[in-house]
Amino acid sequence: MSHILDIKTGGKSLNEAENVLIMIHGRGGSAQDILSLSQHLNVEDYALLAPQATNGTWYPFSFIAPTEQNEPWLSSAIETVGKTVQTALDAGIKAENIYFFGFSQGACLTLEFLARNAQKFGGAVAIIGGVIGEKINRENYKGDFAQTPIFLGTSNPDFHVPVERVYATTNILREMNADVTEKVYVNFGHSINQEQIELANSIIFK
């Protein structure tokens, strides 16, 4: 199965905005769900793009399952994020004015896309996520983030995302010249908290 490109929009129109925020929903969520979060972010002047996963999930198994078990959905999901970025670029938005926000499965997908396509972006927020694969394949990750700010927030423990994978992801992003802020909340649970929103606003959406 591959994903059908279905991008929901919000905020300013692409031809009016200088900045774009790409929002990636989690498993069982929807593009509309994650778009509604934008009202808590300092993105009033941004165009918002949120691709919808076919059947509500980007890939069928855990993000730390063997990668081949999640194919062909995973490759299609990464391609979908790439096409969403291209939609912004085609509208004349510069890469350094493209931002990302992903939660849970959407955070994993966001981080995997970014690590495979590192360049100077506006910034990224990934709440409860890490790069994808049973083992990390560092050879997949190329480019230079040129100090793109990235905020990783997570809970320890988290039922879906081991904190060790978050730490490993932070290290990879820093090796690739990203300016990473990592915050681990003890026993917070699998959700987004107010402080994460405030940190996203102060670090990324200034």
Q: What is the per-residue pLDDT for 188?
A: 87
Indicate whether 85 belongs to any domain: yes
Residue 60 has what pLDDT?
Answer: 97
Asked whether residue 158 is assigned to any structural domain, the reply reads yes
36-77 pLDDT per residue, tens: 999 999 999 999 999 999 999 999 999 999 999 999 999 999
Q: What are phi and psi of 83, to 5 degrees?
A: -70, -30
Distance CA 188, CA 122 (A): 28
Average pLDDT score, the chain: 97
31 lies in some domain: yes
How does pLDDT run across 100-123, given as a tens digit for each residue? 999 999 999 999 999 999 999 999
Q: How far apart are CA 108 and CA 74, in angstroms?
A: 11
- pLDDT greater than 80 at residue 168: yes
In a domain, 107, yes or no: yes
Residue 121 burial (CB < 10 Å; 0-12/13-18/19+)? buried
Residue 162 pLDDT:
96
For residue 177, being part of any structural domain is answered with: yes
Residue 177 dihedral angles phi and psi, to the nearest 5°: 75, 35
Q: How confident is the model at residue 184 (pLDDT cuts 50, 70, 90)?
A: very high
Name the band, by pLDDT with cuts 50, 70 and 90, for residue 189.
Answer: confident
Return the pLDDT at 191.
86
pLDDT surpassing 90 at residue 1: no
Integer-rounded Cα Rg, in Å, for the chain is 15
How much of the chain exceeds pLDDT 90, in percent? 96
Strand partners, 180: 150
Q: What is the CATH number of the domain that holds 113?
A: 3.40.50.1820
Q: What is the pLDDT of residue 18?
A: 97
The tens digit of pLDDT for each residue in 76-87 reads 999 999 999 999
pTM (predicted TM-score): 0.97
Domain count, the chain: 1
3-state helix, strand, coil in the chain (%, to 5): 35, 20, 40
Domain residues for the domain of 50 are: 7-204
Residue type, 106: G
Q: In this structure, are residues 205 and 98 in contact, taking their beta carbons and an 8 Å threshold? A: no
Q: Is residue 1 part of a domain?
A: no
Residue 21 inside a domain? The answer is yes
The verdict on residue 81 lying in a domain is yes
